[in-house]
Structure 1
Amino acid sequence: MIRDRGNIKWTAMMLPEHVKLLREWQEQDQYVKKPELDEWALQELSEQLQLAYDQKREVELKVWEEKQIYKATGTIEKLNEKNATLYFEDGRAFPFQSIFGISFIIAE
């Protein structure tokens, strides 16, 4: 059985610049391209946001920020159309451009 040590055996021969570039390259592999929504998807997202705001329902948003996708859960307190920002009750704010998905959380 061959027991390879991976990059460990080569690091002694690598210049620090090469190691730095390899680490940056690995970080860039994890980047996610911003999802583009078409006109219909934007309209549906807008309607669902308005419905969640009117009914004060807890939602889970899919948010794209800094080349990463994450989920945020909360109740919508305010929709500011001037600033194009959505506010949760706990004070977190999300620009409309970064939101690309919404789902309602079912209360048990």
Structure 2
Amino acid sequence: MNMIRDRGNIKWNTMMLPEHVKLLREWHEKDQYVAKPQLDEWTLQELSEQLQRAFTNKLEVELNIWEEKRLFKATGKIAKLNINNETLYLEDGRKFPFQSIFGVSLIE
């Protein structure tokens, strides 16, 4: 049986203008964006309690972060919770605003 070896989008790139290729890449990148998760009052209260417990007991946490239209996870121990500027600081120097945190898991 003779198998067709298709090159996919590569064969079309030579016939496309660079502006079109750029727009297609931007469109594909925007397609990967994630909307910011909305948390209700109960979830925010539970999140706050878990952060306080992890900070006072020096427990390692895994944070679910939404930043720049993307989701990612960060792990570490909480060095400081600054309520004045609403920022969480990890021991390795990273900092996250409270508004970007939408999930906490304690690693005991």
TM-score (norm 1): 0.92
Q: Number of residues paired by the alignment?
A: 106
Which of the numbers 32, 35, 38 marks the counterpart of 1:33?
Answer: 35
Amino acid at match of 1:80: N
Listed as ranges, the gaps of 5+ residues in structure 2 are none
Amino acid at match of 1:22: L
SS at match of 2:46: helix
State yes or no: 1:80 paired with 2:85.
no
TM superposition shift of 1:91: 1.6
Where does 1:43-62 land on structure 2 (aligned, <5 Å)? 43-62=45-64
* 2:6 counterpart residue number: 4
TM superposition shift of 1:15: 0.9
SS at match of 2:104: strand
* 1:15 counterpart residue number: 17
Structure 2: how far apart are the matches of 1:77 and 1:16? 48
Percent of matched pairs sharing the same residue: 75
Listed as ranges, the gaps of 5+ residues in structure 1 are none
The 4+ residue runs of structure 1 with deviation greater than 3 A are none
* 1:91 counterpart residue number: 93
SS at match of 1:90: coil
Amino acid at match of 1:12: T
Structure 2: how far apart are the matches of 1:77 and 1:62? 17
Structure 2: how far apart are the matches of 1:77 and 1:65? 20
Amino acid at match of 1:26: H
